Amino acid sequence: MATSLRQKELIRGKALYYLHLIYPQQATMQLLQAELDYFGYPIPIEELSFHIAYLQEKGLVDIETVRGPYSHRSVNLVKITARGIDLLDGRLPPDDGIYLEPPKESG
């Protein structure tokens, strides 16, 4: 199934949103995938890896590769950067490749 441009932008925005919620903790790709599924955006891990690499190239997330519980496997840990937080908080200009929901008015 082809993913629309808006869907890709939404997935990137939701990934940043979740990483912001757990900051300063990191998330495995599998945890991030499960959270996106919970938000209503089921996505194959390969496609999620593409979006996370995109966000990394923009300086919005960091990826750390560590040894997993079994020595022959590595695990990628993803963490939002200060730049990613600034984007979510509206301190950076909007990015056309990432859809962020407008902030809710408190009142």
Length of the chain: 107
Domains of the chain plus CATH, in order, are: 5-88 (1.10.10.10)
Helix (H, G, I), strand (E, B) or coil at 75: strand
CA separation for the pair 98, 27 (Å, rounded): 19
- Return the structure tokens found at 9: 């932008």
Q: To the nearest whole percent, how much of the chain has pLDDT over 70?
A: 93
Q: Do you find a cis peptide bond into 24, omega within 30 degrees of 0? A: yes
Taking only the tens place, the pLDDT of each residue in 38-71 is 989 999 999 999 999 999 999 999 999 998 777 6
Q: What share of the chain is helix, strand, coil (3-state, %, to 5)?
A: 45, 15, 40
Give me the chain's average pLDDT, please: 92
